[in-house]
A and B are shown apart, each in its own frame.
Chain A
Amino acid sequence: MSDTSLSRGARWFQALAGQSRSAAPVLSADAPLVDETARFITVVPDPGNRFPRATENVVGLEQGWQLARAVREAIADDAAGNVRRPIVAIVDVRSQAYGYREEMLGIHLACAAAVDAYASARDAGHPVIALIVGPAMSGAFLAHGYQANRIVALDAPGTMVHAMGKEAAARVTRRTVEALDALGETIVPMSYSMASFAKLGLLDQLIEGVDADAPDAAQIARVQQVLREQIRSAREGSRKLARRLESAAAQKHRAASIEVRRRLAEQWDAV
């Protein structure tokens, strides 16, 4: 744990999964998690990547398709057995890759392939857990984490969920970064903080007191325990994302999402 050059995603992958079976940019391995074996998957920087716009911890063309492959391998391996192994997406993705070649070669489809794989794993009965250890941004989070049965995050500087990077969002909405932060205080979905994300009913657990950059053995064990509990809960609960609307937090801050579903259902069949 002494290599300070490791990205958050790489550091937590090493802590939870050890050696990867695949090289950067997508690491994946099966490793023991308390009393069973889970598949861990993360996206890490890849300075030598042949796509020059996808050298950081972003989701580009190869990242998207390789994420899909890592997930689908686990689905295929377990298809004939009784146990669907848990899949843990370690999330540390700053954005999707922004580039000319990326658009040309269908980055939207590469990211969709990852969405498809995670959603299919969840539907097939794999408990899918997203562990946010860094930024979980926009299309990159859609591709890697947002299809999970459960979402947990470290309560640490640098963990955040948002639809657009702060600087870019400030530019587009013609606000200063400070004004944007102030807005997030009153308008919950505009906030970048994990606490606000939790208010929307989207975060299942905020893990406090863990050093995200240099966790000690006790902290790693605690994160493993949290993952284990979330896996158990996911196995017992519904496989559908509709459960995100059931919490008290969602009833309060996603009232419109719930109202739309209720009234659309009423009108669905003509009377």
Chain B
Amino acid sequence: MDFSLDPAVIMTALARVLEPWNVLMILAGVTGGIIIGIIPGLGVVMAIGLLIPVTFTMSPEVGMSLLVAVFVGGVSGSCVTAILIRMPGTPSSVATLLDGYPMAQNGEAGRALGNAVIASFFGTIISGIFLVLLAPLLAAFALKFHFPEYVAVTIFAITAVAALTGSTILRGLITALLGLLAATFGMSQEDGMPRFDFGRTEMMGGIGLLPALIGIFAISQVMTDALKRDRDRELGQKIERTLPTLSDIGSNIVNYLRSALIGTFVGVIPALGAGPAGLIAYVQAKNASSTPERFGTGYVPGVIAAETANNATIGGALIIMLTLGIPGDPATAVLIGGLMIHGLEPGPQLFLSNPEIIYAIYFSVFFSSLAMMVILIIFMRPLARVALVPKRILLPLIVVLASAGVYAINSRPFDIIVMCIFGFVGYIFERFRYPLPPFVLGLVLGPLIEGNFRKMLGQYGDAMPLVTQPIALTFMVLTVVSIVFSIWQRRRGGALIEASSA
């Protein structure tokens, strides 16, 4: 495969991307993507899918710029509702709300949004650089992932998050197992047969990801907030700064780089997605921090880690899509459709036949992330005021918006009932201090781990490849290390508390 950079072609692609009509498309796409990311239930996948026919009459460069811009805007926009009202529009923003929402509650909504936007920008840019420079290398790495490697990486992701987010490891593991169990409800992806449907046709489709996510985070928070005193007096408050301080950025350089690396690698591995990337980066940032106890209480590095990583999956997913023609996630699967409508087949051949398209996509990623940052910074101050709206107005709006968004996915009122049930589950989990992120990870990765585990047993006859294949073994060792590290960290924390109280 020849992936060498040709300066003449690069300049041609840059000139095309910078044409006024193309810049306008990028701005429109990013704005639309941000709005779609903010509205629950409307993912980037749907938006890109709806726009593909529109791009048919455009040149491939302009069409792909528009679609990539929607992709970047959608992934970035979902952080807004996660931070302001604890409603993750997509799984990608679950890790963001862990510290973003407490910051908003502490009167730092603007600072949380500002850091999230800058982190999204850095995440996209860093992964874009990987996309340009290391695409073939990372694509070759992704091709080494077979059934044992998938099982090992999902076990690592779930265990690391379970071990490091709960007050005890067992609580995290239990919620992760409950997430894995919830993922088995409905039609089995492996067999096409129903499980735990209890004779009800509504259950055949299983537990929808978005109803569950919005239920355990947003509805449980509505239940909690409804009991608190109204905050009318806060309406008169001024919004504090919305841009991150230089110290916020300077003290998190390593955090940006580490999280972008994690996001890019997770993005390269097909089917893992931005949600797990954000959570893995979040726990790694917590691991590396000298003040891990501040994570989850409204701590800037938590927001930065999550947002950098989930946006970095964009570059990762594009790497595998462009170099091998493999869709890393549903959004890139639809993006492939955007290329094919112009008669272009993603894969090694595209680098030889139409390199200008490849470079145009590269530049679109960079300019879209820049446009996303500018647009979100302009609208950040009015957005941040949402956190100051009195709860008697805000909470009914959240419930209606959440219900409409959840209903919009499949036009099923049953999904709204599922959302309420998970609101109850989330409320009980939080009261009993059982962490929510491992549950989300279990629900998201459940089908992936089951399918690959069964195929691995079918192919190899046993689970030995988990310790005989080098990549799988590496992830299994990392799993053990994350558990041991978590135990050591808790004992050390306990010893420090005892020493300070003595």
Q: Is B one of A's binding partners?
A: no
List residues of chain A with CB under 8 Å of any chain B CB: none
